[in-house]
Amino acid sequence: MSDNMFRVIIVGAGPVGLYMAHALMAANIEFVVLEQQATVLNYSGALILGK
Protein backbone atom coordinates (compact mmCIF):
# COMPACT_ATOMS: atom_id res chain seq x y z
CA MET A 1 0.00 0.00 0.00
CA SER A 2 1.37 3.39 -0.95
CA ASP A 3 1.75 6.21 1.58
CA ASN A 4 -0.90 8.41 -0.04
CA MET A 5 -3.64 5.74 -0.19
CA PHE A 6 -6.40 6.20 2.37
CA ARG A 7 -9.12 3.72 3.28
CA VAL A 8 -11.89 4.76 5.63
CA ILE A 9 -14.55 2.79 7.50
CA ILE A 10 -17.68 4.77 8.35
CA VAL A 11 -19.74 3.17 11.10
CA GLY A 12 -23.40 4.18 10.80
CA ALA A 13 -25.39 5.50 7.87
CA GLY A 14 -27.05 8.34 9.76
CA PRO A 15 -26.84 11.95 8.62
CA VAL A 16 -23.19 12.35 9.62
CA GLY A 17 -22.11 9.02 8.17
CA LEU A 18 -23.78 9.74 4.84
CA TYR A 19 -22.31 13.25 4.79
CA MET A 20 -18.84 11.80 5.39
CA ALA A 21 -19.38 9.25 2.60
CA HIS A 22 -20.31 12.08 0.24
CA ALA A 23 -17.27 14.14 1.26
CA LEU A 24 -14.91 11.17 0.87
CA MET A 25 -16.38 10.36 -2.54
CA ALA A 26 -15.81 13.96 -3.65
CA ALA A 27 -12.20 13.72 -2.41
CA ASN A 28 -11.73 10.40 -4.27
CA ILE A 29 -10.91 8.56 -1.03
CA GLU A 30 -11.84 4.88 -0.78
CA PHE A 31 -14.40 4.12 1.96
CA VAL A 32 -17.03 1.67 3.14
CA VAL A 33 -20.18 2.43 5.15
CA LEU A 34 -21.27 -0.14 7.75
CA GLU A 35 -24.86 0.01 8.99
CA GLN A 36 -26.63 -2.29 11.43
CA GLN A 37 -30.13 -1.64 10.06
CA ALA A 38 -31.37 -3.44 6.93
CA THR A 39 -32.29 -0.13 5.28
CA VAL A 40 -31.19 3.49 5.62
CA LEU A 41 -34.79 4.72 5.71
CA ASN A 42 -36.59 4.02 8.98
CA TYR A 43 -40.21 5.12 8.99
CA SER A 44 -41.07 4.08 12.56
CA GLY A 45 -42.54 7.09 14.33
CA ALA A 46 -42.39 9.20 11.18
CA LEU A 47 -46.13 9.25 10.66
CA ILE A 48 -48.77 10.04 13.25
CA LEU A 49 -52.33 9.26 12.24
CA GLY A 50 -55.21 11.09 13.90
CA LYS A 51 -58.89 10.22 13.83
Over residues 1-51, the pLDDT tens digits come to 456 677 999 999 889 999 999 999 999 999 999 999 887 676 666 666 666
The answer to whether residue 43 sits within a structural domain is no
The answer to whether residue 49 sits within a structural domain is no
- How many domains is the chain partitioned into structurally? 1
Provide the pLDDT for residue 37: 84
Whole-prediction pTM value?
0.66
Q: Which residues pair with 31 in a beta bridge?
A: 8
The answer to whether residue 50 sits within a structural domain is no
The full DSSP string for 2-42 is: -TT--EEEEE--SHHHHHHHHHHHHTT-EEEEE-SSS-S--
The answer to whether residue 33 sits within a structural domain is yes
Residue 11's domain comprises: 1-38
The answer to whether residue 24 sits within a structural domain is yes
The answer to whether residue 46 sits within a structural domain is no
The answer to whether residue 29 sits within a structural domain is yes
The answer to whether residue 34 sits within a structural domain is yes
